[in-house]
């Protein structure tokens, strides 16, 4: 079975928070994941996304697993495609969003 057989999209976030998946229609925090794509739309210039391998909002510097910045104005859309199997998170994924209208990840979880 290839890694792409379990590729899913997370629940869309419009503010900081735990990245979640849907299980039988219920949003549940993602525990373990290979993040393959990060997708977002900016609400202003310099949209910024920080992802932490954490199950809470601690935002510990050593737990930072992704930091992306993009856009020169509102409504810019950007897709960060990560090579290979992507970035692995084994504790949870906390998203810290700045100047972002909406955000989601695509990966295996």
DSSP labels, 41-98: EESSSSEEEEEES-SSS---GGGEEEEEEE-SSTT-EEEEEPSTT-EEESS--EEEEE
Q: What percent of the chain has pLDDT over 90?
A: 92
| Residue 5: predicted pLDDT | 64
| Residue 2: predicted pLDDT | 52
Average pLDDT (57-85) is 96
Of 37, 15, 19, nearest in space to 98 by CA: 15
6 band by pLDDT with thresholds 50, 70 and 90: confident
CA distance 19 to 10: 7
Say if residue 83's pLDDT is above 80.
yes
């Amino acid at each position: 079975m290839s890694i792409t057989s379990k590729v899913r999209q997370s629940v869309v976030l419009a503010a900081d928070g735990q990245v979640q998946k849907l299980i039988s229609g219920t949003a549940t925090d993602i525990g373990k994941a290979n993040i393959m794509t990060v997708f977002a739309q900016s609400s202003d210039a310099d949209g910024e996304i920080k992802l932490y391998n954490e199950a809470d909002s601690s935002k510990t510097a050593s737990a930072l697993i992704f930091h992306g910045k993009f856009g020169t104005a509102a409504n810019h859309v950007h897709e960060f495609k990560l090579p290979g199997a992507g970035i692995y998170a084994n504790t949870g994924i906390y998203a810290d969003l700045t100047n972002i209208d909406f955000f989601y990840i695509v990966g295996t979880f």
